[in-house]
A and B are shown apart, each in its own frame.
Chain A
Amino acid sequence: MRSQVINLTVNGTERELLAKPGTTLLGALRDGLGLTAAKRGCAQGGCGACTVVVNGAAVPSCLIPVEVADGATVETLEGMASGQHLTPLQQAFVDGFATQCGFCTSGMLMSASALLAENPAPTRDEVAVAISGNVCRCTGYAAIIDAILDAADRTRAVGSAAAD
């Protein structure tokens, strides 16, 4: 089998890469494009460290053959902050001590960002369901859920202030 040219819109920029058969979206991002925020934890869809947002949905990128994502819009953690300016979600993780070793953080933030884009005012249970595919072995789940709820509040506060 021959390599294929794959086109992706990654964090708003059109990217083109040559992918050998068997290349996953995670491999294409990390090894092909040098975007290493998405992590390889288990390479079998069990830990969520590789979570990115594809066409608006949080997915484990280690399970997606990159050919399937050809033409898709992909968001990774590298595209979340604008310059040095953190989003309310990122700032809530910093302020709420929702990071420990940091290895799950990228996947947690991508799952959370897909949730908040679809549901700006989630309940605690909805947040827990949204990150249920993301393993934090430091077991910091309570702080992570608190931070995501805090981010939703901060975003709504900014939105209502803008509307005034």
Chain B
Amino acid sequence: MATTKHMSPIDTGYFSDERAAAFDVVGTPAPRSDARGHVTGQTQYFEDVAYPGMAHLKMHRSARHHALVKGVDTSAAETTPGVLRVITHRDVPNNWYTILRLIGVQPDDEPVLAEDRVLYLGEPIVAVVAETEAIAREAAAKVRVDYEDLPAVLDVEEALKPETIVVNPKHGHNYFTYEGHHCRRIRFGDVERGFAEAPHRFTHTYQSAPIEHAPVEPTGCVVKPEADVRLKIHSDTQACYFTLDNTALILGVPFNRLRVIGGTVGGGFGGKVDVMVEPIACIAAQLTNRPVKYVYERAEEMQVSSPRAAERITIDDGVTDDGRIIARKVTILVDAGAYSRHSPYGTTKAAAHMPGPYTIPNVWVDAHCVYTNRTPSSAMRGFGVTIADFALESQMDRIARALDIDPIVIRLRNAYRDGDMKAHRKEVEGAALVEVMQKAADLVGHDLPADCRAMSSTHREAR
């Protein structure tokens, strides 16, 4: 397969007319196209849409971290005046979220509405559709669920012990399987030989907490049945086509039966990618033939919307006297929570990222995507690499301090250069890391020794 550097130059003939244009936008401020709408209040967010006869959906959620559902009594909810419909998993045509099927990751492991078990606190069980939000809220609270408690697994290391109860039966164990392996692995060079040659060894563990996106606009949608039997979905999704495809698969209808109106998002940060509200709101609209609004309360946004995963990262480095890392062994435990969502993908990103922007000849990474009875975690701004960077750069500072080396100098000595092979077998191109650090040092008036000043990303100096 041809790589970028062997490709012929890009043919720009097609754009020859445009080349005559001024192309003077870069470097000059251009007003945001949406700013005028924002400052006049005319921007239309999904909740600014209202239809006559609009009904409201509220969810009855799991009160347990981990339990079997022995029975669900919806009678009190059904007889509450103003309730239009009570929806359980039996009303969902294909009761699996398919978000990852769309990018080729399997298995589907999360029901739209819980069936015989709940795997996290706040998991949706029964939806109530009513004339007003207040009635829907009141009736949802009247649903009675008979639980048989199971042990809750709330720690990633506990989850991986062989004797620990299996959280998600679709996986059969508490980790995601990567091409037959129990974790995502990186093997590059010979890490044990590197350790044997290294005079210094630094082993530290870094732990992050889950982080909630907390958009000011809650996750939600308004669904309107149209005269042509299509469903019109006003959504604040960050991913209109994820919403369209996932909802169609759950409803079991052709994609052209849905019309998604989106693109205006009141803060997302990755938290509005998972398609958690549209499918059930569409089912409610179909069953009642009414426009339906389903929007998270602030408490739901905080409790059940997927956070950035908590990660536990142990970095074990073998280092020379002058601060060069010659062996790095990393174990990453990503807390996916009860279901996959985007965590198997995020875990792969973390594994690939672990050498950091440094050239290390011997690298060994085991990155585990671990299931626990916590809120499912998913996408958030650079997920997979953000917490990895916190760990990596904390580790660099610790090594620099221990060896009494300037923290910029130690990074320059390890910095990757164009043409280096990274641990996950991608050749470095267009790095510019050395030049950026040199410039940053200049800007803060930080003196660099002559050998660091002479470094370049495009050619490696003789040592």
Contact = CB atoms under 8 A, between A and B. Distances in A.
Contacts of B35: 93-94, 97, 99, 102
Interface string A126-164: 000000000111100000000000000000000000000
Interface string A64-84: 000000000000111011000
Contacts of B206: none
B217 A39 contact: yes
Nearest to A136: B216
A99 B39 contact: yes
Given A22-B134, A94-B35, A94-B36, A101 B217 contact: yes
Interface string B215-241: 111100000000000000000000000
A137 B269 contact: yes
Contacts of B264: 102
A137 B214 contact: yes
B425 interface: no
Given A94-B31, A99-B32, A102-B266, A86 B215 contact: no
A81 B217 contact: no
Interface in B422-463: none
A90 interface: yes
A61 interface: no
Classify the interface of chain B: helix, strand, loop or mixed.
Answer: loop
Contacts of B48: 30, 36
A99 B38 contact: yes
B40 A137 contact: no
Classify the interface of chain A: helix, strand, loop or mixed.
Answer: loop
Interface string A93-132: 1110101011111100100000000000000000000000
B73 interface: no
Contact of A105 (B38, B215, B265, B298): B38
A135 B213 CA distance: 13
A31 interface: yes
A44 interface: yes
B397 interface: no
A1 to B, nearest CB: 13
B216 A47 contact: yes
A41 B216 contact: yes
Nearest to B50: A31
B41 interface: yes
B216 A81 contact: no
Contacts of B32: 94, 97, 99
A52 to B, nearest CB: 11
Contacts of B37: 102
Contacts of A94: 31-32, 35-36, 39
Given A47-B216, A94-B36, A103-B266, A42 B41 contact: no
A43 B266 CA distance: 15
A68 B44 CA distance: 29
B345 interface: no
Interface string A1-36: 000000000000000000000100000001100101
Contacts of A138: 267
B188 interface: no
A131 to B, nearest CB: 13
A78 to B, nearest CB: 5
B155 interface: no
Most chain A beta-carbon contacts within 10 A, residue among B29, B31, B41, B214:
B41
A28 B142 CA distance: 28
Contact of B266 (A78, A90, A101): A101
Interface of B: 29, 31-32, 34-45, 47-48, 50, 134, 213-218, 264-269, 297-298
13 contacts: A36-B47, A40-B218, A41-B218, A47-B216, A90-B39, A97-B35, A99-B38, A101-B217, A101-B266, A102-B35, A102-B264, A103-B266, A137-B216
A-B pairs, 10 with minimum CB distance = A37-B41, A103-B266, A102-B38, A77-B41, A36-B48, A42-B298, A99-B38, A90-B39, A41-B216, A94-B35
